[in-house]
């Protein structure tokens, strides 16, 4: 009998663990589908079931107004960040959900430290917040562009660890996912966007520049993940060449975290007991 | 043959129209179901169809990143603001959606003019934003509580008209809905919340105070709607005793507005034509 897949097998070793030094993205197959049911239809059904259970948890989160949950999504262009949000949260009540996209910093944002704009957007009590890109862009893009050196990116890794430690110590649960696709898969997806004029809004010619630096980005991701996967804010690598697998796996991961919080509705209010409305 | 119902029949006469003076909420039956299919199941199916069409429009809105759409939801406690958001937007991509709840102003908010916190939350280009309560609370609550006089609330009506005019002149489309329930319907809904301990988080004993001022609130709503329904930011009264009717009607209204914007995907980018990805 094969051992069933475990989400923990896809967790990046913690920074404090010796194995972090040996962590390699290349060793993880982007085409793997460990959490797939085997068919697209099966995955869709499974996603629907998990999504409804997330919805149940999220209502309690919202009712309780105590826990805060942050899901960070990172990945190369076309890795499916938007698609994951749509797929996983399509059936979740929009009331307690907040999606925050981070683009290239504007002038005011760039005039502050790199965590400033991120801190303003962290979840409040009762919120499930999704970062579509995040503060991790600031240890990836400037590194690949040659704007910061190793001393600076190491310093930022530490700053990120300390920032995330503070967030978790003050009540936030953090889950971080790298949507892991292959260079070849990206090729097909970018070509499809180029060939469909209604998809041009998702793409700029300049995005091809990042693709030219594929190897440098993978190296930057590897280092960033190994340096910032912690017990309190772990990174998971999501094999994402298959969209239906990607959605199921992110949903299963989020559900496990939410159910782990043991969320309950707040206690009944004594003063409401037996009250008759006029 | 009966004339089919028109959404315009539920639009509050414009402030500039003589009929606004005669506008009465009492004349509108909260139990009416003009946009219902006749059965709950039929309404659910219809909602699903309309919701998918809203989703199509919303993707274009998001892609275009030009138009901004603001939906304002107001109503007495238990009138179904949360339920409308869940029902109408449950199937809409959360990516381009932003829900903003307004509660009693906090210290910083109260230290500013009443439009300050609202202005910070208006939709950006490409956004569909939903206000769950709004600046209208500030011409309802303080009026009923006796904290402001007619001079002040008339002044606020004018300030609201001018604020909303500025928003629409600068590219925002505004739709405002009053979820209209009867006092008796509210009684049943509050009692149900009291009788179900898992619903207590939605309710405080102090909420019964607002119910005691039902008549005063209805009068305040009547005046506020008549004073701020304009061609550029009209108010609609949604008969909301039936939840399934309420959802269908709000969805139909929003869809009409979105389709009226004639949203298209942005034009294809010439520079992407024929590009082959390496």
In a domain, A7, yes or no: no
Kindly report the number of other CB atoms within 10 A of residue B205's CB atom.
11
**Domain of A231, in residue numbers:** 12-264
pLDDT at B91: 82
In a domain, A132, yes or no: yes
List the single residue in B86, B91, B187 with the smallest CB-CB distance to A95: B86
pLDDT at A27: 92
Confidence of residue B2 (pLDDT cuts 50, 70, 90): low
**ipTM above threshold 0.95:** no
CATH number at residue A166: 3.40.50.300
In a domain, B175, yes or no: yes
In a domain, B278, yes or no: no
Q: State yes or no: pLDDT of A1 exceeds 60.
A: no
Q: Which helix (H) or strand (E) holds B160?
A: helix B150-169
In angstroms, the CA A260 to CA B6 distance is 49
Q: Over the stretch A178-192, which tens digit does the pLDDT of each residue have?
A: 999 999 999 999 999
In angstroms, the CA A60 to CA B201 distance is 10
For residue A172 the two structure tokens come to 């936030």
Q: Which residues of B touch A (CB under 8 A)?
A: 63-65, 82, 85-86, 89-95, 97-99, 132, 187, 190-191, 194, 197-198, 200-205, 208, 211, 265-269, 271-272, 275-278
Number of domains in chain B: 1
In a domain, A4, yes or no: no
CB contact under 8 A, A265 and B95: no
In a domain, B1, yes or no: no
B66-94 average pLDDT score: 95
Q: Which residue of A has its CA nearest to B62?
A: A201
Confidence of residue A56 (pLDDT cuts 50, 70, 90): very high
In angstroms, the CA B59 to CA A265 distance is 35
Nearest-CA distance B73 → chain A (Å) = 13
CB B256 within 8 A of CB B42: no
Local structure of B180: helix, strand or coil? strand
Confidence of residue B1 (pLDDT cuts 50, 70, 90): low
CB B58 within 8 A of CB B92: yes
CB A212 within 8 A of CB A144: no
DSSP assignments along A58-115, one per residue:
HHHHHHHT--EEEEEEEESTTSSHHHHHHHHHTTS-GGGEEEEE--S--HHHHTS-TT
In angstroms, the CA A219 to CA B213 distance is 65
Q: Over the stretch B179-199, which tens digit does the pLDDT of each residue have?
A: 999 999 999 999 999 999 999
Q: Which residues of A touch B (CB under 8 A)?
A: 63-65, 82, 85-86, 89-95, 97-99, 132, 187, 190-191, 194, 197-198, 200-205, 208, 211, 265-269, 271-272, 275-278
In angstroms, the CA A126 to CA A62 distance is 4
In a domain, A1, yes or no: no
For residue A128 the two structure tokens come to 């499930």
Q: State yes or no: pLDDT of B3 exceeds 80.
A: no
Nearest-CA distance A107 → chain B (Å) = 17
Q: Over the stretch A77-136, which tens digit does the pLDDT of each residue have?
A: 999 999 999 999 988 888 889 999 999 999 999 999 999 999 999 999 999 999 999 999
Local structure of B243: helix, strand or coil? helix
CB contact under 8 A, B191 and A276: yes
Average pLDDT, chain B: 95
In a domain, B252, yes or no: yes
List the single residue in B93, B190, B275 with the smallest CB-CB distance to A194: B275
Strand arrangement of the beta sheet that strand A68-75 belongs to = A97-101, A128-132, A68-75, A172-180, A235-239
Percent of chain A with pLDDT over 90: 91
């Amino acid at each position: 009998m094969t051992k069933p897949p475990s989400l923990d097998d896809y967790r990046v070793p913690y920074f404090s663990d010796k194995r972090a030094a040996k962590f390699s993205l290349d060793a993880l197959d982007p085409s793997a589908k460990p959490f797939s049911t085997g068919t697209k239809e099966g995955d869709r059904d499974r996603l629907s079931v998990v999504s409804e259970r997330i919805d149940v948890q999220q209502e309690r989160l919202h009712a309780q107004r105590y826990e805060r949950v942050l899901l960070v999504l990172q990945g190369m262009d076309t890795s499916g960040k938007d698609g994951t949000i749509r797929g996983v949260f399509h059936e979740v009540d929009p009331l307690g959900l907040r999606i925050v996209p981070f683009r290239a910093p504007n002038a005011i944002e760039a005039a502050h430290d790199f965590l400033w704009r991120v801190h303003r957007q962290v979840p409040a009590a009762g919120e499930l917040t999704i970062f579509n890109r995040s503060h991790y862009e600031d240890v990836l893009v400037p590194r690949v562009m040659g704007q910061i050196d190793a001393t600076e990116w190491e310093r930022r890794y530490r700053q990120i660890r300390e920032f995330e430690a503070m967030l978790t110590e003050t009540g936030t649960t953090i889950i971080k996912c790298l949507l892991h696709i292959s260079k070849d898969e990206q090729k097909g997806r970018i070509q499809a966007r180029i060939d469909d004029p209604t998809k041009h809004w998702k793409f700029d010619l300049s995005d091809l520049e990042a693709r030219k630096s594929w190897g440098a980005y993978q190296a930057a991701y590897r280092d960033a993940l190994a340096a910032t996967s912690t017990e309190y804010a772990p990174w998971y690598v999501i094999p994402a060449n298959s969209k239906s697998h990607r959605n199921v796996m992110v949903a299963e991961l989020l559900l496990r975290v939410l159910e782990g919080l043991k969320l309950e509705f707040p206690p009944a209010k004594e003063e409401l007991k037996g009250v008759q409305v006029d």
